[in-house]
Amino acid sequence: MATKRYVPAIGPKLQWVLRIVLGLFAVLCVNSVYLAAVTLLQSRAASGAYGGGDYENNFYQWMFFIHLVLGLAIVVPVVVFGCIHIANARNRPNKRAIRAGYATFATALGVLVTGVALTRVDIGALTINLKDPASRSVVYWLHVILPLAAAWLFVLHRLAGRRIKWKTGARWALVAAVFAGGMVLFHLWNPRVAREGPRNPDYWEPSLARTATGRFIPASILDNSDECLECHADIHHQWSHSVHAFSSFNNPLYTFSVRKTREHAFAHDGHVQDARFCAGCHDPVPFFSGAFELAKWDDPNYDVASDPLGKASITCTVCHSITSINGVRGNADYTISEPERYPFEGSTNPVLKWVSQQLIKAKPAFHKRTFLKPEVHRSAEFCSTCHKVFLPEELNDYKWLRGQNHYDSWRLSGVSGRGVAAWYYPPAPQTSCNACHMPTVASNDFGAKVRDESGVLTVRNHMFPSANTAIPVLAPMTDPQAVIRAHEQFNQGVMRLDLMALREGGTLEGTLHAPLRPSVPALVPGESYMLDAVVRTVKMGHEFTQGTADSNEIWLDVTLLAGGRVIGRSGGMDEGGGLDPWSRFYNIFLLDREGRRIDR
């Protein structure tokens, strides 16, 4: 009878596989300890410990990426080694070692399975996306605990079998310690502080906007709204039809105004610094990247509206990178920080771009914390930075003057819950601008969530419906009529016009007939009458009209009928679009120091 050939439990070739497994496992251990420590620090900071702050920085994201790469790299070696090793050793007499080996292999497979389950991957038709928070939490903690169990079972397996080579383990521990020390050093290094800065510290003036470091932020980082489109298609579509997306040189009205400002500033001072007053709100991308000084913005033959920086306007990253509000003075009184980025974020390489997207989906908490700061972005003070304006003396060479001011108007109204002299009060105070100007809309966007008992997924509307129906027509929006309809729908019922009284003789001293309901006086043909009308807001959180009140075109269109026949009209327009000069306007005149109207 032939003797069965002896097969070692771990042969020479399998020994190399084991070394690969142990090497990858050692690096993964150090990597995992780093990730766990930083995650714990971040969790404690979120609860108010250590003074808050962000610990999950760019290097943390690189370590997370390496964790995924190493995790995928170890799958095949573990499976190959485990299967072959079990096949070679399953009939050995040391049953205790075999049982411990089975348990170790099963636990290792559990680590791999839970790791894959925690990723969010889209490859063609294959999608791995565990969204349920409760299930994800269970899988996460299994992924944390199982490696510890696997290490313990491996030690039991070795104790029941061949003697453990502790010196070899010590060498691996030394390598791990070196890696750990390097991780700490790289974690403390912030690559963002190495940016170029302005030549003069007063570069930002007279705007009040500042960067957190005092240095420039690359335009490629601020102007990347197309990257947001990948996961936030609905929000991107809304934003692309908002006035925010047409705030800069792609807005013909603003282009004319800012070019005149630059022209006057250069003629008066020899530089265009005064125009930075506008840039903090209207041109943040060229402003914060240091490109606002370029001569191309003043070249009448250059198509500034098609320039990538000229049409960037207020991008997603600009708004969501504002980290603090420095006051309620307006004039862009905020601080913007260069956002921490994931590995390969912003890459034009399709593969690297895909990797970056998967990392964001796999670790979305960092992305959300970077770009959404509730204490900032949900506050009315956030909006006040650009919806409240004053003209400083150094800008007009005259004196301090108030400009548009939505913020104080809202704050002193009944809508805010703070105004004591309001005409009306809503059922509940609106404590932020978002409640009105960012209504919820149904969406399957990646950032959508259930906000009420309806169970419908919604997002905040980033079109910011309000009252500007001129820009949709003048700017290159893809569906201007839909935008105009959205504004018109938003404005239903926000104003009320009451015909209060009628005065005979067309003068204040004439006989007064009031109120005009339920009885209406009969009018005598040929006589003159004065009609008293009251226009008031009934669903608006600030005065009417606001914003660029000097250029807003608002008037009353009043038609008098007798037996269905028009006998008089005020506020009509002729065939050429000309308006009746006797119309009753609701606007203001801006006057210069000599009392002349400023009309440009």
The pLDDT, as a whole number, for residue 600 is: 67
Q: Name the nearest CA neighbour of 312 among 286, 293, 290.
A: 286
Residue 230 has a pLDDT of 86
Task: Look at residue 72 and tell me if it is in a domain.
Answer: yes
Do the domain assignments include residue 507? Answer: yes
Q: Over 90: is that where the pLDDT of 232 sits? A: yes
Distance from C-alpha of 469 to C-alpha of 475, rounded to nearest angstrom? 11
Task: Establish whether the linkage from the previous residue to 518 is cis, with ω within 30° of 0.
Answer: yes
Give the domain-ending residue among 482, 509, 539. Answer: 482
Q: The whole model's pTM is what?
A: 0.82
Residues 397 and 417 grouped into a single domain: yes
The answer to whether the CB of 248 falls within 8 A of the CB of 258 is no
Query: What's the mean pLDDT in 13-22?
Result: 87
Is 7 inside a domain boundary?
Answer: no
On whether the CB atoms of residues 360 and 437 are closer than 8 A, the answer is no
Cβ atoms of 554 and 572 within 8 Å: the answer is no
Residue type, 467: A
- Tell me, yes or no, whether 19 and 47 share the same domain: yes
pLDDT of residue 6: 64
- Name the 3-class secondary structure at 273: helix
| Domain boundary pick from 482, 508, 531 | 482
Which helix (DSSP H) or strand (DSSP E) does residue 122 occupy?
strand 121-123
33, 168: one domain: yes
- The set of residues, in sequence order, having a beta carbon less than 8 Å from that of 243 and lying 6+ positions away, is 464, 466, 468, 471
Q: Give the chain's radius of gyration (CA, Å).
A: 34
How do the residues of the chain divide into helix, strand and coil, expressed in percent and rounded to 5? 45, 10, 40
Whether residues 400 and 316 share a domain: the answer is yes
Side-chain-side CA neighbours of 585 within 13 Å: the count stands at: 12
**CB under 8 Å to 594, separation ≥6 — which residues?**
none
Residues 440 and 375 in one domain: yes
In a domain, 423, yes or no: yes
- Asked if omega into 525 is within 30° of 0 (cis), the reply is no
CB 115 within 8 A of CB 128: no
CATH code (residue 165): 1.20.950
Cα 544 from chain centroid (whole Å): 29
Strand-pair category, 388-391 with 401-405: antiparallel
The predicted-structure confidence for 42-83, as pLDDT tens digits, reads as follows: 887 777 666 566 777 888 888 889 999 999 899 999 999 889
Region 231-259 average pLDDT: 94
pLDDT tens digits for range 151-197: 888 888 777 666 666 777 677 677 777 777 777 777 766 665 567 87
Q: Is the pLDDT of residue 292 over 60?
A: yes
Q: Report, as an integer, the average pLDDT of 222-238.
A: 92
Whether residue 494 sits in one domain with residue 475:
no
Same domain, 313 and 374: yes
Q: Does residue 300 surpass a pLDDT of 60?
A: yes
| Inter-CA distances, 11 with 6, 18, 158, 164, Å | 11, 10, 16, 17
Q: Considering only residues 530 and 157, tell me which one the structure prediction assigns the higher pLDDT.
A: 530
- Tens-digit pLDDT profile for residues 314-333: 999 999 999 999 999 999 99
* Nearby residues of 271 by Cβ (< 8 Å), 6 or more positions away: 265
Report CA-CA distances (Å) from 134 to 139, 140, 483: 9, 10, 40
112 and 224 together in one domain = no
Largest CA distance in the chain: 134
399: tokens are 């004196």
Site of tokens 């079972």: 153
Question: 238 lies in a domain?
Answer: yes
| 6 is a domain residue | no
Averaged confidence pLDDT in the chain = 87
Nearest to 277 by CA among 298, 310, 245, 254: 254
Q: With respect to residue 408, please indicate whether it lies within any of the assigned structural domains.
A: yes
How far is the C-alpha of 442 from the C-alpha of 452, rounded, in Å? 12
Residue that is written with structure tokens 């109204």 in the block: 413
Tokens coding 286: 């060229």
Lowest mean pLDDT among 86-95, 299-308, 506-515: 86-95
Whether 18 shows a pLDDT value over 90: the answer reads no
Which amino acid is present at 367? Answer: H
Rounded Cα gap, residues 406 and 390, in angstroms: 12
Q: Does residue 451 carry a pLDDT above 60?
A: yes
**On the CB side of 453, how many CA atoms lie within 13 Å of its CA?**
0
Kindly state whether residues 47 and 149 are assigned to the same domain.
yes
CA separation, residue 111 to residues 105, 127, 179 (Å):
10, 20, 22
Indicate if the pLDDT at residue 1 is higher than 50: no
In SS3 terms, 133-182 reads as: HHHHHHHHHHHHHHHHHHHHHHHHHHHCCCCCCHHHHHHHHHHHHHHHHH
Q: Are residues 468 and 507 in the same domain?
A: no
Contact 512, 501 (CB under 8 A): yes
Please report, as a single letter, which amino acid is at residue 313.
S
Which of 160, 193, 226 is a domain's end point? 193
Amino acid sitting at position 560? L
What proportion of the chain, given as a percentage, has pLDDT over 90?
36
Closest CA to 112 of 140, 72, 62, 63: 72
pLDDT at residue 391 greater than cutoff 70: yes
Please give the residue range of the domain that contains residue 25. 12-193
How many structural domains are present in the chain?
Answer: 3
Distance in angstroms (rounded) separating the CA atoms of residues 108 and 99: 14
29 and 119, same structural domain?
A: yes
Q: How far is CA 28 from CA 35, 66, 71, 168, 550, in A?
A: 10, 9, 8, 18, 64
Condensed to tens digits (0 to 9), the pLDDT of residues 533-583 reads 998 888 888 888 887 877 888 899 999 888 889 988 899 998 888 999 889
Query: Could you tell me the two tokens for 533?
Result: 């009308």
Phi, psi of 199 (to 5 degrees): -70, -35
Instruction: Tell the residue number behind the tokens 């908002």, with chain if given.
Output: 242
Residue 37 has φ and ψ, to the nearest 5°, of -65, -45
pLDDT of 218 higher than 70: yes
CA-wise closest residue to 77 among 119, 26, 19, 116 = 19
Q: How confident is the model at residue 2 (pLDDT cuts 50, 70, 90)?
A: low
Please state at what angle helix 58-89 crosses helix 350-362, rounded to 10 degrees. Answer: 90
Is 381 in the same domain as 266? yes
Q: Which residue has the tokens 């104790």?
A: 159
The Cα-based distances of 341 to 4, 43, 68, 312, 443 in angstroms read 60, 20, 17, 20, 26
Cα 17 to the center of its chain, rounded Å: 47
Q: Domain for residue 202, yes or no?
A: no
